Amino acid sequence: MMKRINFIWCAILLLLTATSISRAQQPAADEAAEKIKAIQIQYLTKKLDLTSEEAQKFLPVYNNYTREVDQLIAEHRQKLDQDHLTPDEAGKKNMDKELSYQKRMLDIRSRYSTEFQKVLPGRKAGMVFKSEREFRNIMVIHLNNQRMNRMGQGTGTHRRP
């Protein structure tokens, strides 16, 4: 138990140090993304109840997985249609792109599912994608709450007649 707590604290300190060192070199959006990734790693480590040995094996694999997913998402965003096509042609082309994207995402997830099972016990490996989805849902709720709070600040309370 103490090893796990020590590992988590060391990981947090390492991430905070790396974030502060690179702060001067990264735009604000990149900095925010790095902080979210650090929080996500902390959440997954706790949610999966990883021992320090499991975390040492899991985190490099998980980082490779997220790097591949992020790269695929970036490629998908870059391929937005800028061709001069008819609406029907554009619709078909976009559908094909979306299906290709989803297939590639499924391929990545399937491959890493096997990799996670190599470094974690079956129960924990089976919880990785679910825990990741839970984290995204928590973040969406948190960001929506922040946005609602900002909208209410400075503009006073608006009441509908």
66-99 tens-digit pLDDT: 999 999 999 888 876 555 667 777 778 888 888 9
**What is the pLDDT at residue 159?**
47
**What is the pLDDT at residue 127?**
96
Domain that holds residue 109: 32-80+88-143
Does residue 114 lie in a domain region? yes
Does residue 14 lie in a domain region? no
Question: Which of 66, 55, 96, 97 has the alpha carbon at shortest distance from 79?
Answer: 97
Does residue 18 lie in a domain region? no
Does residue 58 lie in a domain region? yes
**What is the pLDDT at residue 151?**
86
Domains of the chain: total: 1
Does residue 11 lie in a domain region? no
Residue stretches of the chain with pLDDT short of 50: 19, 23, 156, 158-161
Does residue 97 lie in a domain region? yes
Using CA atoms, how far residue 40 sits from 27, 57, 99, 147, in Å, is 20, 17, 28, 20
Does residue 158 lie in a domain region? no
